[in-house]
Amino acid sequence: MRNRTDVDVKDTWDLTLIYKDDDAWYEEYESLKKEIDTYDQFQSTMMNSAQDLLELLVFDQKISRTLDKLYVYANMKSDEDKRNQTYLKMLGEITSLFTMISKKTAYIVPTLMKYQYAKIEEWMKEEPKLLEFEHSLKDIYRYQPYTLSETEEKLIATYSSALSKIGDTYDLLTTSDMNLGTIQDEDGNDVELREGNYTLYIRSKDRRVRKQAFETLLGGYAKFQNTIASTFTGMLELAKANAEAHHYESTIGSYLFADDLDETVYTNLINVVNNHMDTLMRYYHLKKKVLGLDEMHIYDIYVDLTEKASKTYSFEEGKNIVIDALNVLGDDYITNLKRAFMERWIDIYPTARKTSGAYSGGSYDTLPYVLLNYNGTLNDVSTIAHELGHSMHSYYTRSNNGYETGDYSIFVAEIASTVNELLLSHYLLEHSKEKDEKRQILSEMMDLFKSTIYRQTMFAEFERKMHGDTEEGKTLTSEQINKAYYDLNLRYFEPEIIVDEKIQYEWERIPHFYTPFYVYKYATGLSCACKIVTDILSGKEHAVENYIAFLKNGSKDYPKEHLKMVGIDITKTDYIESAIAMFDDTITKMEKLLES
């Protein structure tokens, strides 16, 4: 694997636009540290008048925006090389600063809670500049039943830095300290297996390679199962303690409340998916038939269904395909999308010790950066579209909102990314010239539905059980966690797939579990995206305009209201049913193509 110094600078993101160098970062960091004592001056005066409250909120926003920038720079620099001690130190310092500020600001919400919201409304009429903070203030009062006293909130803030190390420990272990082992590639060359290149080998046409990659990766995690079980159960206990301390009825309820959702949306997803396991089995049956396998293992499910070696794409080719595919979203969208490539928003290639996977990141005052680990597969091209979906959502949101509403719920974030994936797939299918190309595209489309709706829902079931068991006071060992995960795999893969023993360790490699009740949003996001894409491609009146307005809305509304802009009611199940119907239709298209 290449070192970062071997990569052309044009293929890396430009973080100098945040801070020109580390010295500039430290200069702003030290300046911010000196400012935070100013919070003390507002404690006794913040509710004396509308002007006093406004002064506090303006100061707090300034601190938050600076803190966001400092964190984004340190985190992204650390992701370039997870062993670079300079940026690990920066992250430690910014985490400590977060904790200091949390303590300093612990009085704000409890002080507000001493007054009725009617007083805030009265002050907004008196001082219109307070209207900039209306959404944030309303949201604070929505949390009134779950807000503790100033002393209690300060105590929780005191422990926050130490408790946040659980996720950091897991991240460092899995991205930096673990040696997963070595495999032999298709040509018999020894290759060091990492999360960053695992996808390339698990999708290999050579069954020996993908089996070896599967067994080596999960065998590597198995060696650390007790350590990772410790970080995982620590996270579960922390989530439980936080929910109980704030008087939520359940851990899941504490996380869904942020989006103003109840458990119905979560359980609807699981129930609908479980009622349509026949579609998933139909997909696996087709795949087994096309691959010519008498029996199919989990390590076989990721290979595509093309007869030839999968086509590879240079990054330049992938970029142009994505631009052409998204052209249906209009000139303004494409003009701004092209900026991502021209202005170095993207860190493209895998390098030694670079963090695995892909993401879109940044803050209100930075570019919406993208981290990739591009290997040239069709899936990697799809990842460009996916992550730029996030980044374009961020661009439109920040360009059309002030800081207070210049962000959006993760629930709707996964919609923008998967809209792009689906538009790419439909574009490629329409423009492909050869039968084998169409097979590859349909294969990727089916994999998208399998991975995003079914796999993420399986993860959601796993999370619900793990958090539920923790709430009931059960002690979870690595063996019990392994068994729970293995049993779920039996339900999601049998009878079409042989469930290999090592799959029981796969939960260890899912970092999203350290952000509780996140993964279900991938499944609901794709389901919503199917509706939006269907409307756009069918030429439904105002479909594109409504979608762009949706991207610009920021956090002015909670997801239920936000999604009404594109005609979706997430309290019902029809949008999930229609997504599974699209999956079923994609399988049918593949069957017909194979018969032609």
Catalytic residues: 387
Within 10 A of 399 (CB to CB), how many other CB atoms are there? 12
Beta bridge partner(s), residue 346: 370
Cis, peptide link before residue 559, omega less than 30° from 0: no
The answer to whether the CB of 75 falls within 8 A of the CB of 120 is: no
Other Cβ atoms closer than 10 A to 477: 13
∠ CA 324-325-326 to the nearest 5 degrees?
95
The two counts, helices (H) then strands (E), for the chain are: 25, 7
How far lies 96's CA from each of 24, 89, 131, 164, in Å?
19, 11, 32, 10
Bridge partners for 184 per DSSP: 190
Residues 6+ apart with CB under 8 A from 143: 109, 257
Q: Residue 592: phi, psi to the nearest 5?
A: -65, -40
> Dihedrals φ, ψ of 192, to 5°?
-75, 125
Alpha-carbon distance of 253 to 516, in angstroms, equals 11
Q: How many CA atoms lie within 13 A of 539 on its CB side?
A: 0
The answer to whether residues 445 and 591 touch, using CB atoms and an 8 Å cutoff, is no
Contact call for residues 346 and 369 (beta carbons, < 8 A)? yes
**Rounded to an integer, what distance in angstroms lies between the CA atom of residue 42 and that of residue 57?**
10
Cα(338)–Cα(358) distance, integer angstroms: 19
CB 492 within 8 A of CB 280: yes
3 state DSSP class of 182: strand
Residue 363: phi, psi to the nearest 5? Answer: -140, 180
Paired strand residues for 192: 182
CA-nearest of 101, 106, 231, 221 to 165 is 231
